[in-house]
Amino acid sequence: MTEDTRQMLGLVIRSGPWMGRSGRDQLDIALAAATLGIALRLFFIGDGLLQLTNDKQPEAAGLPGGLRGWMSLAELTPAECFGLLDEQGVCPDCMLNIKFIDAQALNGLMAGCDRLLVV
């Protein structure tokens, strides 16, 4: 399957790490889509950027590891990662290469996805 014919799934990640029931819901959706050959656009918004901070250790809070799993996406699929320009200071040391763009550009990229999930 070529890059041009793959479905594009957009994931809007708004919740901080370990805010959901399992604490890994967003990552699990992204990894499942990647293994199915679905192209990904990841939109880290607000607290969602905290998923990528390099200086947080979940083990120190008694939580299981797994936040580093975002980095494994690069091995499965070329994922595009975006954040809002005015939130750039939230994650100065992000684990992923985030392209920070304005809200209008972000909305345009979201509209270009075949499917969009807010998680």
Q: pLDDT by residue (tens digit) across 39-96?
A: 999 999 988 888 887 665 555 545 445 556 787 787 788 889 999 998 988 877 777 8
Q: How big is the CA angle at 19 (ends 99 and 117), to the nearest 5 degrees?
A: 55
pTM to 2 decimal places = 0.83
Surface-to-core class of residue 102, CB atoms within 10 Å of its CB (0-12 exposed, 13-18 middle, 19+ buried): exposed
Assess contact for 22 and 28: CB atoms under 8 A: yes
Q: At 106, list the tokens.
A: 């972000």
Residue range 3-118, CATH number: 3.40.1260.10
Can you give the pLDDT at residue 17?
Answer: 73
